[in-house]
C-alpha cells in the first residue's frame, strides 16, 4: 500500500497559510484531484475551511464547544456567490468557444437594399415555462415557444423591406430559468418549468441560428443584441459568447458582447437603446442613463427610441427627450401571471427605421395568425 505524500496536519497547515489546492498539489508532487478529495474529507469533519472555494461566499460560522469553551468542531456556512459564479461562467464560456465550429460566410444577396434598419425585438419569450390551458386559458411549453418564435421570424422577415441593416434584439428572459433549479436567480421564486436546462440551451441556440439565417437572406448586415433579464442573468452570458464565437468568421454578422445592462445602436440620426426593464424602471431615468452613456451619439440624434420588456404588456411613454416603448411578449400566461390578473395579448413586431426620419413603419405578428399554438 502506497504511503500518503501529505498528512492531514500538513494539508491543514498549508491551506491555512493561503495555498490553493493546486499549489499544494504541485508542492507535494500530487494530483490536484487527490488533494481536493482529502480537503473535502477534512472539511466534512470541520477541520478545514471552505472559505476560498470558488463560486461560494461565506454566510456565517457555527462552532461546537465543550463546557469549558474549547472549540471541538467548526462549520463554515457558505452560499453561492453570484458575482464569482458569473466570473467562473465567463471563463467557462471562453474555454468552450475556443474550439466551437464557426459559421461559414453567406454571400451577400444580389439585392438593391433599402436604406433602412429593421429591428426584430424579442422580449420575455420564457423558453421552458409551462402553462396548462385548463388553469391558464392557454397552453405553453418549450415546444410551443420554439414554434411561436420560428413563426414570428417567418412572418416578420417576409413582411419587412429588404433593409440594409437588421438588428436581432434578444431583450432578456429568453429563458425561463437560469440553471438546473426552477427558480428565479435573484428572488428564488419557484417557477413552473417543463424542461431540463440542457434542452432550453439547445432550443435557444437552434432558434437564434435559424432566425439569423433567414435575416441574412433579406438584409445586408445583421447585428445581434443580447440582454440579460431577471430570469436569465447568467444564461445570456453564455448565449452572447456562443453567438459571438459562432459568427466570428461571418463578416455580415456582428454580436455586441458588452455585459452592460443597457445596449445601443446608432443609425444615422436615429438613436436606439435596449434594456430588459428590471433594474431601471422609470422611463425618465432610462433616458437619462442613455444621455450619460452615449453623449456624442445622443447629441447628433433627432429621433430617440428605447425598447424595454419585463412587464409583458405594451405601453409607450413619450417625452421631449425620446420615446420609451414597453413591448409585449410572445409567451403564454403561466399560473403566476394568470392568478395575478394579467391578461395582455401576445404579440411582437418588426419595426422599420429611417436613418433620417426615425420610425417609418412596423409589422405586427400575433400567434393566432398562424392558428396552431393553442392561444385559447
Q: Are residues 52 and 100 in the same domain?
A: no
Instruction: Tell me how many domains the chain contains.
Output: 2
106: confidence class by pLDDT, cuts 50, 70, 90: confident
Q: Are residues 91 and 30 in the same domain?
A: no
In this predicted model, what pLDDT tens digit does every residue of 212-226 receive, in sequence order? 999 999 999 999 999
- The C-alpha atoms of residue 151 and residue 146 are separated, in whole angstroms, by 9
Q: Are residues 46 and 105 in the same domain?
A: no
55: confidence class by pLDDT, cuts 50, 70, 90: very low
Mean pLDDT, residues 142-160 taken together: 96
**Residue 124 resides in a domain:** yes
Residue 223 grid cell: 447585428
Give 240-247 contacts, CB < 8 A, sequence gap 24+: 241/90, 241/93, 241/94, 241/96, 241/97, 242/93, 242/96, 242/97, 242/100, 242/205, 243/205, 243/208, 244/97, 245/97, 245/100, 245/102, 246/100, 246/101, 246/102, 246/103, 246/209, 247/102, 247/103, 247/212
Ranked by mean pLDDT, which of 28-42, 69-83, 97-111, 348-362 comes out on top?
Answer: 348-362
Q: Are residues 37 and 119 in the same domain?
A: no
**Residue 3 resides in a domain:** no
Q: Are residues 150 and 72 in the same domain?
A: no
Cα–Cα distances in angstroms (integers) from residue 16 to residues 24, 48, 58, 63, 338, in the given order: 11, 8, 16, 18, 53
Q: Are residues 143 and 276 in the same domain?
A: yes
**Residue 1 resides in a domain:** no
> Contact at 8 Å (CB) between 161 and 352?
yes
Q: Are residues 68 and 210 in the same domain?
A: no
Q: Are residues 212 and 310 in the same domain?
A: yes
Q: What is the pLDDT of residue 50?
A: 54
Query: Which range is least confidently modeled, 167-171, 191-195, 316-320?
Result: 191-195
Instruction: Look up the CATH number of the domain holding residue 193.
Output: 3.60.21.10
Cα–Cα distances in angstroms (integers) from residue 43 to residues 7, 40, 52, 164, in the given order: 15, 5, 12, 60
Q: Are residues 356 and 287 in the same domain?
A: yes
**Residue 351 resides in a domain:** yes
The average confidence (pLDDT) of the chain is 86
- From 56, 81, 106, give the residue that closes a domain: 81
**Residue 2 resides in a domain:** no
Cα–Cα distances in angstroms (integers) from residue 122 to residues 118, 177, 253, 376, in the given order: 13, 17, 18, 22
Q: Are residues 200 and 229 in the same domain?
A: yes
Q: Are residues 46 and 62 in the same domain?
A: yes
Q: Are residues 167 and 24 in the same domain?
A: no
**Residue 28 resides in a domain:** yes
Domain residue limits at 72: 8-81
Amino acid at each position: 500500500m502506497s504511503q500518503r505524500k501529505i498528512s492531514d496536519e500538513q494539508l491543514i497547515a498549508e491551506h491555512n497559510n493561503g495555498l490553493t489546492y493546486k499549489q499544494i498539489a504541485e508542492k507535494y508532487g500530487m494530483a490536484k484531484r487527490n488533494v481536493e478529495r482529502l480537503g473535502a474529507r477534512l472539511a466534512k469533519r470541520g477541520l478545514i475551511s471552505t472559505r476560498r472555494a470558488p463560486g461560494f461566499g461565506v454566510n456565517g460560522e457555527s462552532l461546537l464547544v465543550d463546557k469549558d469553551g474549547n472549540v471541538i468542531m467548526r462549520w463554515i456556512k457558505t452560499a453561492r456567490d453570484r458575482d464569482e459564479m458569473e466570473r467562473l461562467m465567463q471563463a467557462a464560456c471562453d474555454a468552450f468557444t475556443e474550439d466551437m465550429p464557426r459559421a461559414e460566410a453567406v454571400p451577400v444577396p444580389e439585392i438593391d437594399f433599402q436604406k433602412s434598419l429593421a429591428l426584430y425585438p424579442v422580449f420575455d419569450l420564457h423558453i421552458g415555462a409551462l402553462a396548462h390551458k385548463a388553469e391558464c386559458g392557454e397552453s405553453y411549453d418549450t415546444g410551443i415557444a420554439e414554434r411561436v418564435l420560428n413563426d414570428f421570424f417567418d412572418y416578420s422577415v417576409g413582411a419587412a423591406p429588404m433593409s440594409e441593416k437588421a438588428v436581432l434584439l434578444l431583450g432578456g428572459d429568453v429563458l425561463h430559468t437560469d440553471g438546473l433549479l426552477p427558480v428565479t436567480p435573484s428572488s428564488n421564486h419557484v417557477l413552473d418549468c417543463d424542461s431540463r436546462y440542457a434542452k432550453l440551451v439547445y432550443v435557444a441556440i437552434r432558434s437564434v441560428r435559424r432566425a439569423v439565417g433567414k435575416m441574412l437572406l433579406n438584409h445586408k448586415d445583421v447585428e445581434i443584441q443580447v440582454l440579460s433579464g431577471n430570469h436569465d442573468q447568467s444564461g445570456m452570458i453564455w448565449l452572447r459568447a456562443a453567438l459571438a464565437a459562432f459568427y466570428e468568421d461571418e463578416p455580415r454578422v456582428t454580436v455586441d458582447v458588452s455585459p452592460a445592462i443597457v445596449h445601443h445602436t446608432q443609425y444615422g440620426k436615429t438613436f436606439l437603446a435596449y434594456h430588459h426593464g428590471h433594474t431601471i424602471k422609470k422611463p425618465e431615468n432610462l433616458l437619462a442613463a442613455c444621455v450619460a452613456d452615449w453623449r456624442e451619439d445622443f447629441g447628433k440624434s433627432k429621433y430617440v427610441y428605447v425598447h424595454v420588456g419585463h412587464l409583458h404588456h405594451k405601453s409607450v411613454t413619450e417625452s421631449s427627450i425620446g420615446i420609451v416603448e414597453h413591448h409585449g411578449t410572445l409567451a403564454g400566461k403561466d399560473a403566476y401571471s394568470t392568478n395575478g390578473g394579467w391578461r395582455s395579448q401576445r404579440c411582437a413586431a418588426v419595426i422599420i427605421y429611417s436613418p433620417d426620419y426615425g420610425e417609418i413603419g412596423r409589422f405586427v405578428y400575433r400567434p393566432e395568425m398562424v392558428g396552431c399554438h393553442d392561444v385559447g
